[in-house]
């Protein structure tokens, strides 16, 4: 039966087995959340948060949806809000890719780009700025994916049951990253109830505070990382780290996308896949182990992503590798300039091939 709305296409995404990596006796599966209408897993909580706000009266006809976002949640909210007739205002850090910003604007959202070199509590920090905009805008609803209970509830009601059903009820581990914590908490709660043997594994970029906190119990100082959307300098209220059985802090696997021959998995996001492999191997026994993770968005969304995000509080970017340079303003998307020198036919191992330079 044909869908009557684009919102009917959210969820029920395919699951595909990875066959181009040497996994030994283990099996690894990817949940292709990039098949959602706006291109990412965030369509699920976006619809759930707006539906919940409508139900309890926080969002009324002619209202405005405001959100602080790394891009994908904002695009999902813009999709749902435009379909329902709401105005959308998104506040994003200046390290976000131009593609996400253009996509959100194409869906009718107003995008405000703010600083990424400041921490929580600073007026220019993207979450604090979004809250301030909400307070001064009549009829505004702050979606607040980091604390909105509808976020993990969406994954508990849809993402997790889909994964377990597609795996035939036999799954050893689910590997997730944490941005807002919704996927970890929602999927983890469902698995704890429906499949107690299934372990939750956290894939965290080096520099984030979450993996060290899980492994050592110590809340360290945040560093910097290039991956968009996952990794945090605080523990979001929606993030239940008690559900995590094992956490890995890793650098992005730059060449994963080319090895997999698929544009559905941006190189930065391959960090999850690398950790999924590690998790599977740690759990291997005489019989094969199975793990699943999400392919949360698509490579065209990060082709102008900065490779060297600012360290919180430092006010400066790390030195640019591969002779790259950047100029970033707080009111527009990052811009890049590349050296005019003739490229070497064999780049050094420390540098990505030219195709992937701007997406590391």
Q: Where are the alpha helices (DSSP H) in the chain?
A: 43-55, 72-84, 98-106, 126-135, 150-154, 160-166, 182-194, 210-216, 256-260, 270-282
Q: Which of 322, 318, 319, 298 is nearest to 310 (CA)?
A: 318
Which CB contacts under 8 angstroms, 24+ apart, belong to 318-324?
Answer: 318/224, 321/350, 321/351, 322/347, 322/350, 322/351, 322/352, 322/357, 324/357, 324/358
Query: Measured between alpha carbons, how far is 220 from 225 in angstroms, rounded to an integer?
Result: 15
Q: Say how far apart CA 235 and CA 180 lie, in whole Å.
A: 9
Q: How far apart are CA 116 and CA 114, in angstroms?
A: 7
What is the secondary structure of 126-155 as a DSSP string?
HHHHHHHHHHTSTTEEE--TTT-THHHHHI
Residue 67 CB contacts under 8 Å (≥ 6 apart), including other chains:
73, 74, 77, 88, 89, 90, 91, 130, 142, 143, 144, 145
**Does 259 participate in catalysis according to the annotation?**
no
User: Could you tell me if 143 and 137 are in contact, meaning their C-beta atoms sit under 8 angstroms apart?
Assistant: no
Residues 42 and 33: their CA atoms lie apart, in Å, by 8
Q: Which residues contact residue 56 at a Cβ distance below 8 angstroms, ignoring those fewer than 6 apart? A: none
Q: In DSSP terms, which residues pair with 204 in a beta bridge?
A: 249
Cα(282)–Cα(289) distance, rounded to whole angstroms?
9
Q: At 58, list the tokens.
A: 């926080």
Q: One of 31, 42, 100, 246 is an active-site residue; which one?
A: 42
Dig out the tokens for 226 from the structure.
């290039």
Dig out the tokens for 357 from the structure. 């330079």
The kind and range of the H/E element at 91 are strand 87-93
Catalytic positions: 42
């Amino acid at each position: 039966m044909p869908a009557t709305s684009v919102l009917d296409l959210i969820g029920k995404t395919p699951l595909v087995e990875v066959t181009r990596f040497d996994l030994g006796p283990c099996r690894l599966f990817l949940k292709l959340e990039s098949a959602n209408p706006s291109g990412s897993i965030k369509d699920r909580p976006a619809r759930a948060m707006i539906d919940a706000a409508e139900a309890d009266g926080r969002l009324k006809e002619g209202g405005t949806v405001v959100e602080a976002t790394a891009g994908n949640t904002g695009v999902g909210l813009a999709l749902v809000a435009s379909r329902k007739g709401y105005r959308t205002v998104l506040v994003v850090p200046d390290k976000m890719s131009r593609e996400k910003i253009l996509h959100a604007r194409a869906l009718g959202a107003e995008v405000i780009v703010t600083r990424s070199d400041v921490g929580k509590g600073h007026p220019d920090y993207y979450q604090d700025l979004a809250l301030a905009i909400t307070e001064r805008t009549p009829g505004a609803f702050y979606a607040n994916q980091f604390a909105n209970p509808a976020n993990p509830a969406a994954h508990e009601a849809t993402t997790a049951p889909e994964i377990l059903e597609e795996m035939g009820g036999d799954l050893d581990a689910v590997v997730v990253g944490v941005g807002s914590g919704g996927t970890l908490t929602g999927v983890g709660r469902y698995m704890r109830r429906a499949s107690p043997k299934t372990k939750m594994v956290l894939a965290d970029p080096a520099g984030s505070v979450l993996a060290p906190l899980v492994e050592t119990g110590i809340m360290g100082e945040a560093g910097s990382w290039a991956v968009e959307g996952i990794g945090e300098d605080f523990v979001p209220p929606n993030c239940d780290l008690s559900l995590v059985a094992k956490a890995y802090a890793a650098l992005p696997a730059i060449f994963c996308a080319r090895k997999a021959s698929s544009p559905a998995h941006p190189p930065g996001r391959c960090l999850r896949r690398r950790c999924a492999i590690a998790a599977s191997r740690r759990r291997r026994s005489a019989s094969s182990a199975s793990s699943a993770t999400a392919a949360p968005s698509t490579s065209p969304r990060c082709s102008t992503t900065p490779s060297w995000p600012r360290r919180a509080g430092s006010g400066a970017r790390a030195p640019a590798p591969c002779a790259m340079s950047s100029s970033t303003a707080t009111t527009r998307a990052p811009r890049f300039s590349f050296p005019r020198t003739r490229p070497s036919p064999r780049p050094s191992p420390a540098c990505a091939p030219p195709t992937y330079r701007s997406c590391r």
